[in-house]
Chains A and B, each alone.
Chain A
């Protein structure tokens, strides 16, 4: 199975800052079959990006995704207070689907 490794584990940042989260795959993710989710405490994950760089419906354009092969990133251009959460990547290139272990964004 494809193992996804996210880094860093935790980031302490301030509103207004720019942040880039990393997701690295143990094998190439074909056709950029990678998605990103945001999860806030007590809530289900919410889809942010699919196909590595396509924003889901209703996701603000301060969120962007990029990458290919084994290296993918999620960038948040200017952090808003509501962006502090845990972010997960997920690959659907091969079964079983797998998730990264998550990156937690916390307010500095």
Chain B
């Protein structure tokens, strides 16, 4: 079955760019859309955006100006870049298969924004 795994730096300095990659295994990235979702500690879930296998994207309006997503079908990976980060961007970041609902999810990766 499809499994996802997030990877990337766990610590990012304020004003820099957060970069994460999600590796899909057990299935082809070309078979679905894919999303990024984040969750600050002790808080709820926030959808960041989605990407299609062809690279078309849709972002949350609240993050649209700072988000870039990309896909690499040869590596079965998709990526997230979030620019000009602040402490408010500290969260667990999840990738998930997006069939409008999200299933499955990766285990998540904690990203802390701090100098």
Spell out A's residues near B (CB within 8 Å): 1, 33, 35, 37, 43-47, 50, 56, 88, 90, 92, 95-102
Q: Which residues of B contact A (CB under 8 A)?
A: 35, 44-47, 58, 60-62, 94, 100-108
B95 to A: closest C-beta gap in Å: 10
Complex CA–CA separation, A105 to B34 (angstroms): 29
For A35, A47, A50, A98, the residue with the greatest tally of chain B CB atoms inside 10 Å of its CB is A47
Asked whether, in the complex, the Cβ of B103 is within 8 Å of the Cβ of A33, the reply is no
Q: Are the CB atoms of B47 and A44 closer together than 8 Å? A: no
A contact face: mostly helix, strand, loop, or mixed = loop
Nearest to A35 among chain B residues (CB) is: B101
Given A43-B107, A95-B58, 16 extra CB contacts under 8 A: A1-B61, A35-B101, A35-B102, A44-B108, A46-B105, A47-B102, A50-B100, A50-B101, A88-B45, A90-B102, A92-B100, A96-B62, A97-B47, A99-B46, A99-B47, A101-B44
* List of A residues within 8 angstroms of B35 by Cβ: 97
Q: Which residues of B contact A37 (CB under 8 A)?
A: 45, 102
- Which residues does chain A contribute within 8 Å of B105, judged by CB atoms? 44-46
Contacts of B100 in A (CB 8 A): 33, 35, 50, 92
